[in-house]
Structure 1
Amino acid sequence: MGQLFYGNDPEPIVIEDRALAHLKVVIATKLRRNESFTLSWRHPSDENPGRTTIWLHPSIPLRFVFGDPDSPELSAEWITAMAHSANSSGGIMLLEEHLDGE
């Protein structure tokens, strides 16, 4: 499992490595353009029901930590879907991966 450390909060946001790798590409692209946006996700089934949203801004510290030392093969389709959501008024919604052809 991967971890996303946001701001000065010592508690990470836990995200599966493959999803975090795709999310990193989209977030890095937006922040490199000096764009601010939100990131939302549904709480895992083992937590209280609901969802969380955070505001991402280039000045807020952000760190990606991966459990697997090898980078996964990235899906252009998944990155595009997340990038489209990033450009909407609702911001990035951490979407499930839909493999090509499914």
Structure 2
Amino acid sequence: MGTLFYDDARFVLDDRLLAHLQIIISLKLRRGESFFLSWKSSESEGEGRNVIWIDNGVPLRMRFDESATPKINRAWAETLALSANTNNGLVITGESIEPADEPEA
């Protein structure tokens, strides 16, 4: 499990999810686009949901527990990216699509 540090808050997220979020968040912020990021809370947190406003002016850091970068599922990344462009913002969904095998070089 990795950690997303945003301003003074810490959010524990799966390393694989965090790697996908890194891609989407960096694309949006490079374009100067602020957006909401939301996800459901765990059962131990009360089964609510979290929503944070991602903006270039707020300190952001990601810490991964694993040193290896997970294989990126392009279909999942595209689904997350599309949601980031809606009024609801980037809504974290489960990875329901298997990553495609990369062609060997």
For Structure 1 versus Structure 2, the TM-score category normalised by the shorter chain is: over 0.9
Q: Please give the secondary structure, in 2, of the residue aligned with 1:12.
A: strand
**2:43 equivalent in structure 1:** 45
Residue of structure 2 in register with 1:79 after alignment? 77
Shift in Å at residue 88 of structure 1? 0.4
Question: Which one of 95, 98, 105 corresponds to residue 97 of structure 1?
Answer: 95
What's the RMSD between the two structures over aligned residues? 1.2
Give the match's secondary structure for 2:18: helix
Letter in 1 for 2:14: E
The match for 1:65 is: 63
| Distance of 2:58 and 2:10 partners within structure 1 | 14
The one-character-per-residue Cα deviations of 1:41-100 (angstroms, maximum 9, x if unpaired) are 100122112001000111111000000000000000010000000000100001110123
Aligned length, in residue pairs? 99
Question: Which protein is bigger by CA-based radius of gyration?
Answer: 2
Partner of 2:5: 5
Structure 1: gaps (5+ residues): none
**C-alpha distance in 1 between matches for 2:40 and 2:29:** 23
TM-score for both structures, normalised by structure 2: 0.90
TM-score under structure 1 length normalisation: 0.93
> For 1:29, which of 27, 32, 43 is the aligned residue?
27
Q: Write out the 4+ residue segments of structure 1 that deviate beyond 6 Å after TM superposition.
A: none
Q: Percent identity?
A: 41
